[in-house]
Amino acid sequence: MHVPDGFFNAAVSLSAGVVAAAGVAVCLRGARRELDDRTAPMAGLVAAFVFAVQMLNFPVAAGTSGHLLGGALAAILVGPYTAVLCVAVVLLVQGFFFADGGLTALGVNITLMGVVAVLVGWGVFRLITRSLRGRGAVVAASFVAALVSVPATALAFTLLFWLGGTAPVEIGTVAAAMGGVHLLIGIGEGLITAVTVSTVLAIRPDLVYGARELAAPLVLRGAGGDVTVTSESPAPTAPVAARRPGWFLPAGIAVAALLAGVVSFYASSSPDGLERVAEDKGFSGQAADHSLGEQPLADYGDVGGIPVGVAGLIGVGVTLAVGGGLFFTVRRRDEGSGRGEDSGRKVSV
């Protein structure tokens, strides 16, 4: 699903770039909570793992095979912030070193496969594990989270395509094709994610970030029969600092709404999917005619008297200013607060 250069118009590429920059900036701060000062080496190795896992092809149905996106898997194993960072780094490296995915489409790619896939996957996972507890629930939640994250990413792609794709393809066709294929891939992704998580749970349960609440409290029994229960979880890998659930709840609600929409779409369109799309073509064809027929001209011709090159350059400047400013403030704050934490932690290590 790596989008190349020239696939989306300038406006969508730039706005997606801003979203991606903001998302990565937020995650740079959040990842410190998940990994503390081990962020760089751990996230680097997890990124390498995500890269490797993306090369695992699995058979979906006769003849076709898909490969993991890995967003939901990474979120459940190492936490959502680190997962977004890892996927973003994987995409960055793929774009610059392997020419996989365009450089101007980097924002789109990070937004789709990093932010959307991880956010949806983690949101679904949290929703389920909040109401159900236990190992089985974690594994089942992994399955559903990964299953949903893939078509959600595909639908986000469709949405962006509708906003500013450069190809004159009907939006209904794109949604049906992308959604259908990725629902299949999502089943594979869900199966692999669930079994992978259950394997890790069986061997090193402390490594599964999404299951850190399952860890039993440490019970110390003294010789005199006194029992001390430490309230703090003994997990050495993930610091169980008081995590603010804050924005996960709204995100979860949004995901639930999306899920409801998506699922009902599939449920209603499956018996007469083709007819439905064909019917829609009549009415959506006109809408598409309007938005897509004029879009390329509007985008590439003069917009309000400003030549496209200049508009592009202004947009790039704005993006750089916004993204750079975000990174700069985040970095400053991290450096400022990071020092004290580092020296404090070093003693304990």
Partner 1 sequence: MGAGHHHRLHRPGDTLVHRLPPQCKLAAVAGFALVVVATPREWFWAFGLYAVLLAAVAVAARVPAGFLLRRMVVEVPFVVFALAIPFIGIGERVTFMGLSLSVAGLWAAWNILAKATLGVVASVLLAATTEPRLILLGAQRLRLPPMLVQIAMFMLRYLDVILEEMRRMRVARESRGFVARDVRHIPVIARSAGALFIRSYERGERVHLAMLSRGYTGSMPVIQDLSAASRQWLVAGMLPGAALAVLLGSWGVA
294-313 positions binding partner 1, by CB under 8 A: 296, 300-301, 307-309, 312-313
Residues 142 and 208: beta-carbon distance below 8 Å = no
Q: Does 58 bind partner 1 (CB under 8 A)?
A: yes
Sign of CA pseudo-dihedral 112, 117, 118, 119: positive
Among 234, 250, 273, 293, binds partner 1 (CB under 8 A): 293
Shortest Cβ distance from residue 100 to partner 1 (Å)? 5
Q: Does 292 bind partner 1 (CB under 8 A)?
A: yes
Total residues binding partner 1 (CB under 8 A): 102
Among 134, 136, 199, 321, binds partner 1 (CB under 8 A): 199
The interface with partner 1 within residues 59-118 (CB under 8 A) comprises: 59-62, 67-68, 73, 77, 85-86, 88-90, 92-100, 102-104
Q: Does 211 bind partner 1 (CB under 8 A)?
A: no
Query: In angstroms, what CA-CA distances link 254 with 112, 123, 159, 169, 310?
Result: 16, 9, 16, 28, 37
Q: What are phi and psi of 245, to 5 degrees?
A: -70, -25
Q: Does 47 bind partner 1 (CB under 8 A)?
A: yes
The interface with partner 1 within residues 157-186 (CB under 8 A) comprises: 166-170, 173
Shortest Cβ distance from residue 346 to partner 1 (Å)? 7
Shortest Cβ distance from residue 164 to partner 1 (Å)? 12
Closest CA to 268 of 176, 343, 196: 176
For the residues of 176-245, what is the DSSP string, one character each? HHHHHHHHHHHHHHHHHHHHHHHHHHHH-GGG-GGGGGGSPPEEEE-TTS-EEEE-S---SSS-------
Nearest-angstrom CA–CA distance, 92 and 258: 28
Q: Does 234 bind partner 1 (CB under 8 A)?
A: no
Stretch of residues binding partner 1 (CB under 8 A), selected from 35-43, 156-164, 225-233, 261-269: 35-43
Q: Does 193 bind partner 1 (CB under 8 A)?
A: yes
Q: Does 220 bind partner 1 (CB under 8 A)?
A: no
Tell me the per-residue interface mask from 321 to 340 with partner 1, x by CB under 8 A, - otherwise: ---x--xx-xx--x---x--
Closest CA to 113 of 188, 41, 167, 189: 189
Please write down the long-range contacts of 289-292, taking CB distance under 8 Å and 24 or more positions apart.
291/162, 292/165, 292/168
